[in-house]
Structure 1
Amino acid sequence: MLVKWAARVVVLATAASAASTPRRSFLPPGSEPSEGLEDQTLYPDPRLFDDTLDALKVLQEAYFQPWVGTWPSAIDWTAAVMGSHIAGTLKSLSKGLEVLGRDQVEDFKKKENTISLYFSQLIGFYFGQDAFSLRNQAFDDMLWVVLGWLDTIKFIKEYSKTHYEANLRVADSTEPLHNQTWHGELWSPAFAHRARIFWHLASTGWDTKLCGGGMNWNPRLTPYKNAITNELYIAGSIAMYLHFPGDSNAAPFGVDYDPELPDTPTASEWAPRDPKYLAAAVKGYVWLASSGMTNDQGLYADGFHISGYKRGSNNTQCDQRDEMVYTYNQGVLLSGQRGLFEVSGRVEYIQEGHKLIQSVIRATGWNLGRNQPVDNLQGLFPGQLPPWHGLGRAGVLEDACDAAKKDHISACKSYLGWLKHNADAARRARNLEGKFGMWWTVGLLGSITTTNIQIGPDTLPKMDGAVDYRNKGVPNEPEWTGHPTRQSGVFDGIHGPGQRPMGESSNDGSSTFVTRGTIYPDPNDRGRGRTVETQSGGLAVLRALWELSKLR
């Protein structure tokens, strides 16, 4: 679940609106950084850019298979999320190469080759994506598809405009290479068509008979109005309004499609900036805001069941909340809030987004005012875990199972310390192949191994009313308790792989799990170990830090 939230934490920061609104602070009283901290800007660091590029390289070389056009170890919906991560990272890489300056990039051909390499893999994924299977899955799975291809269209549009618009001129027979847009634009209609198909399929999940509205999670199971499906509906709908370029492809109605028939959509219904997409986003947001989906910490719980539904009662109210809290339920909504603000200019959307971000940061055990963890991490004995704070510990995001423009940017910059703290933890959770683990916190706590973890009452999440298949604990099996014969080792901070004795640290304070003559089992090797999903999560947090570090 860590995969999505890290990617979404910078949605508000990377596209500040030009709308004119009264000046006001987005930080609540007591959250303002201490004197001097607000001026500590993390300017772009080339090493961070290199780390981001390396994370992308490992993700694609280790997990993507061009011959099938997908990440075979991913499931359908997580593969769709990979598409969003790749498209977003391509956008950051393109802009990052400009920020670093041409003197640090030998020539445009190398830059274009890098962009085209990963973009070609997105094209391959268009054909490798199991679109037929996804049409029959849950509504949230369908909406991940919508976001993935709209993110790709956004990248195509921005990259072409930045680098190829100058080529568009009156045709000149002596200059045959002019008058060409970027080749990626050829694929926008296909990507738009898939986004349109899946948005319309998913929109059938909206229901007013139960709970007064909201998206159902799955068309074939007991009604469940959950946070992620509704957040995706909001984010996907406003993205369709803002970025869908239109679609003239009549499929799936086939060659017998007749625009005169009353029951089949016409091409005009698939035009850009269609008000129905905006209306859907607003409708979804209003329902979610009034649904009571947030807990006492301001975090979104997983969703609502309807008590007595299986027994045939007449109850139609969402009155049985699943208290399980996941990271992705806190991040996806930010895209919707940012988009709604862009369209309406209503600063309340941005304020509510910042409120949610700050709730998440507090729930990791991070003090925004002091710009540091609330707990003393230096006082922990080997194997001791810091206290659980609701959505993480030690100031690092975890899942329980593992505005005026100036003020808006100022608030975003105040999150830099926390985001850098998470990125540093993630980098220390890499192995010698550059693969990220899922449990980032362990990167900061070098004494934690699978054999010495100390569990106490304050280190476990409170699970009352929460449903998750791992809530009853981790199985006492070798794949979860450790692999003594599996070589472990972590990346040495931001400077690359290294193996030093435990307790001997690099200049940046990092260490490894490797000590003299002994291999300590790495907690991130448990279960499935490092996966395509954990790699994309690492990529996402590095990209997030890179984007925020460019703010002025």
Structure 2
Amino acid sequence: MRNWVAFNERLWLDMLLLLGFLAFFTLARESNGEAAPTEREAVYETENQNAFHPLRPNIPPDEPVREHAAFYSPTAVTNALQELHAALETMQTEYFSLWLGKWTTAIDWTAAVMGTHVSATLSSLSHSLTYTMPGTFDKTRKLDVEAQMIENEINKYFSHIITYYFGEDHFAIRNQAYDDILWVVLGWLESVQFIDSHSDSHYPPSGENGDGEWYARQFIPAFAHRARVFYELAEKGWDWRLCGGGLTWNPRLLPYKNAITNELFISASIDMYLYFPGDDNCSPFLGAKDQAHPDWKRLHAQEQRDPAACPDGTPASPTYDPIYLANAINGYDWLKNVGMTNDQGLYVDGFHIKDYYRNHSKTECDDRNEMVYTYNQGVILSGLRGLWEATGNITYLEDGHELIRNVIHATGWTDTDIAPTVSLTTPSKHENPARNPYLFPVPAGGWAGLGAHGILTELCDPFGTCSQNGHTFKGIFFHHLTTFCTPLPLVPVRRGKTFGASPATGKLHHQSCNEYAPWVVHNAQAALKTRDSKGKFGTWWGAEADPDARRKAEWPPEANPLIPGDAFDYRNSLSDVSDPGTGEEFIFQPLSPRNVHITSDLNDRGRGRTVETQGGGVAVVRAMWEFLRRYEGGDDL
């Protein structure tokens, strides 16, 4: 017993000596100018809704201070990536039915957008780590373990993309409006890009480490074929007579030349030029359900390409087809000059031809719907990025940066100075001028045109009246913003067909996108705060930041004071409405009264959390990770 007491006394003495040594070591570090660690770095935990801490508290003393710059820690980038993994897992676990091959609660076009988000997210996960397959799979090597985990996750969710290809109701979408059709084109071309990039990055062309081909390449012809079929269906909607050009929204209704349909046509056209791999299938794919349609033979004959186009296996539609490029150029020329933007530089919804249903000889677009949606500011961005790469015309990039800056200012963002315009040819013009308080007046805490408190917001968000359409919009914006800010290639991807940027232009584009990073992070943080206990995102990201949120939620939905004059919100409605410009009736499923009332969680109102709101969360968190990842390099490319 005596020995045991003596042992305990010695143990306590040793512990006291150890604590004294640690205290002395800490004081010595501080006396030498080294700051003692004050707080453990944040780590990601699924149940912790506030684990993300992006701002680095201390700026290094040798780093110049810039008012418009933000600084981020490596932990911020890591946490953003973990949040992206979690957001994607929730979307696919909670909303995707593998055996049906679809998001069962989505509508046709929003499902196509969800497919786009999955493929884009897999691209981000793919380049989150450098590795070569098959690798050694040595559990003692951290890189091999991480690579296997990422590869398994990518294969898991790519299998969802494969099943969605067969689960997509492609015949129904072929009979819908042209914008619905074009979402399909963008979705499958996104999948083609992902397959190419993942295979090129992780499967070497030859040698002992691999056979040079990821198994997913076998699906490229099928994906490309569907993209081509749907593109050709939409292409028929362009005409030069009405409104001097543009793609009509819906061929079965009175003419409506709207922003989203034409932006989709521009982006789809340039994607077909840059990424379409060709198609040696001369006939549209018709499934058993399609052939059961009473009019399928006529539709098949209408869509059938000339059989002479493929007698010897020549692709029915070649890569880098100049027709696609011409369509994109003509589409943007028309959109830019038709007068589709308001005083804030934001795209409004579109143009009717006044009284056309009485007088078909009228051709001028003279009845503009002033409604502003977030996705109308987004889809064009990827189109402008592609137009630059296909033509080398820097004006396309400058137009894109100007639109992004207009959007940021229209959310009431004042935390960092962002100049209203940027020149990619004159470095001196790129520097931020002194803020002009009269240039972009923002009411304190008030609505700024497309949001408040720096958070992108749909006009229906505060009222809980967003339809499934409206639930999808913000995610679409952030997806295309991320595409636009992808670093410019410094050498042409295909000489004679595409262009590369000069080092100066590439650097200025990169610096401009760096300026948007704090705003992107701010929006992603706001979106993350809307998650419920299952990790599902809500749609009103700004609810927590708005001190008047509950008061706004009590406003009568039919008297939304944020909707501008001469605006008709046909995308979101509580009941059946009729468009005064076309006379068309829009039928929406009315919201149940029990879902309209205010609850403890403002994001439970209306349709609550949906696969579309989750897709928005995936897109904005992906944007955060991509912007932070690129931001790490500072001014270096």
> Per-residue deviation at 1:463?
2.4
Q: How far apart are residue 108 of structure 1 and its match?
A: 2.9
Seen in structure 2, the aligned counterparts of structure 1 residues 264 and 472 have a Cα distance that, compared at 3 Å, is farther
Relative distance call for 1:426 and 1:105 in structure 2 (3 A) is farther
Distance 1:151 1:81 in 2: 10
Q: Which amino acid aligns with 2:629?
A: K
Aligned counterpart in structure 1 of residue 396 of structure 2, from 332, 349, 360: 349
Task: Give 2:236's match in structure 1, choosing from 183, 187, 204.
Answer: 204
Instruction: Say if 1:48 and 1:250 are closer, same or farther in 2 by CA, change over 3 A.
Output: same
Q: Which residue of 2 aligns with 1:442?
A: 543
Structure 1 unaligned regions, length at least 5: 1-32, 170-174, 376-384, 484-520
Which is worse superposed, 265-274 or 153-162? 265-274
**C-alpha distance in 2 between matches for 1:465 and 1:195:** 36
Q: CA deviation at 1:97?
A: 3.1
Q: Which residue pairs with 1:423 in the alignment?
A: 524
Confirm whether residue 535 of structure 1 aligns to residue 619 of structure 2. no
Residues 410-448 of structure 1, C-alpha deviations (whole Å, 9 max, x = no match): 110111111111111101111111000000001334784
The 3 A distance-change label for structure 1 pair 272 and 359 is: same
Give the TM-score normalised by structure 2.
Answer: 0.68
**SS of 2:369 mapped into structure 1:** strand
Distance of 1:260 and 1:528 partners within structure 2: 48
Aligned 1:146-185 pairs, distance under 5 A: 146-166=185-205, 168-169=206-207, 178-185=210-217
Equivalent residue number for residue 115 of structure 1:
154
- In structure 2, the CA distance between the partners of 1:463 and 1:263, relative to structure 1 (3 Å rule), is farther
Q: Secondary structure at the match of 1:311?
A: coil
Number of the residue aligned with 1:508? none
Q: Distance in 2 between matches of 1:69 and 1:40?
A: 42
Q: Work out whether 1:399 is the aligned partner of 2:515.
A: no
Inter-partner Cα distance in structure 1 for 2:614 and 2:596: 19
**Structure 2 stretches of 5 or more lacking a match?**
1-63, 132-140, 287-299, 419-435, 438-443, 462-503, 576-589
Q: Does 1:48 align with 2:80?
A: yes
Determine the C-alpha separation between the residues in 2 that align with 1:296 and 1:66. Answer: 46
* Amino acid in the other structure paired with 1:436: F
- The one-letter code matched in structure 2 to 1:394 is H
Q: How far is the alpha carbon of 1:107 from its aligned partner?
A: 4.2
Given the alignment of the two structures, is residue 140 of structure 1 paired with residue 140 of structure 2, yes or no? no
CA drift of 1:98 comes to 3.6
Contact 2:377 2:407 in 1 (8 A): yes
SS at match of 2:371: strand
Which residue does the alignment assign to 2:564? 463
Query: Closer, same or farther in 2 for the Cα pair 1:104/1:455, shift >3 Å?
Result: farther
Please, what is the CA RMSD of the aligned residues? 3.4
SS of residue in 1 equivalent to 2:154 = helix
Shift in Å at residue 37 of structure 1?
A: 3.5
Residue 478 of structure 1 is matched in structure 2 by 594
Distance 1:178 1:445, change over 3 A: same
Q: Secondary structure at the match of 1:217?
A: coil
CA distance in 1, matches of 2:312, 2:548: 61
Partner deviation per Cα, 1:423-481 (whole Å, 9 max, x = no partner): 1110111111100000000133478448975799x994142111115579998933111
The Cα of 1:528 is off from its aligned counterpart by 1.1
Is residue 204–residue 210 contact of structure 2 (8 Å, CA) maintained in 1?
A: no
1:368 Cα deviation (Å)?
A: 6.0
Question: Distance between the aligned counterparts of 1:204 and 1:86, measured in 2?
Answer: 29
Matches within 5 A, 1:307-386: 307-367=354-414, 369-370=416-417, 386=445
- Residue 25 of structure 1 corresponds to which residue in structure 2? none
Q: How far did 1:191 drift?
A: 0.2
Alignment: residue pair count = 465
> 1:47: how far off?
1.2
Report the alpha carbon displacement of residue 34 of structure 1 after superposing the two structures with TM. 8.6
Contact 2:282–2:305, Cα closer than 8 Å, also in 1: no
Name the stretch that deviates more: 233-242 or 251-260.
251-260
Q: 1:85 is matched with which residue?
A: 117
C-alpha change, 1:324 and 1:435, in structure 2 (3 Å) is: same
1-structure distance, mates of 2:251, 2:529 = 41
**1:106 matched residue in structure 2:** 145
Structure-1 separation of matches of 2:260 and 2:312: 28
Displacement of 1:303 in angstroms is: 0.3
| Equivalent position of 2:9 in the other structure | none
For structure 1, which segment, 473-482 or 40-49, has the greater mean C-alpha deviation from structure 2 after superposition? 473-482
Indicate how the Cα distance of structure 1 residues 179 and 286 shifts in structure 2: closer, same or farther if over 3 A, else same: same
In 1, are the aligned partners of 2:103 and 2:111 still within 8 Å (CA)?
Answer: yes
Shift of residue 312, structure 1, vs aligned partner: 1.9
2:66 paired residue number: 35
CA displacement at 1:95 relative to structure 2: 1.1
Amino acid at match of 1:539: V
How far did 1:527 drift? 1.2
Counterparts of 1:331 and 1:397, CA distance in 2: 12
Partner-residue secondary structure (3-state), 2:537: coil
Higher relative contact order (CA 8 A, sep 6+): 1
Is the alpha carbon distance of 1:413 and 1:460 closer, same or farther for their aligned partners in structure 2, counting shifts above 3 Å?
Answer: farther
SS at match of 2:103: coil
CA deviations 1:47-78 (Å, max 9, x no partner) are 11111110000000000000110101000000
TM alignment of 1:517-528, pairs within 5 A: 521-528=600-607
* Distance in 1 (alpha carbons) for counterparts of 2:220 and 2:508: 35
Is the Cα contact below 8 Å between 2:193 and 2:275 reproduced in 1? yes
Residue by residue, what CA displacement relative to the aligned partner does 1:461-519 show, whole Å, maximum 9, x if unpaired?
A: 14211111557999893311135xxxxxxxxxxxxxxxxxxxxxxxxxxxxxxxxxxxx
Percent of paired sites with the same residue = 47
Change (3 A) 1:305 1:532: same
Alignment-derived partner of residue 253 in structure 2: 221
The one-letter code sitting in structure 2 at the alignment partner of 1:207 is: D
Counterpart check, 1:414 vs 2:414:
no
Contact 2:283 2:305 in 1 (8 A): no
SS at 1:278 equivalent: helix
Match of 2:55 in 1: none
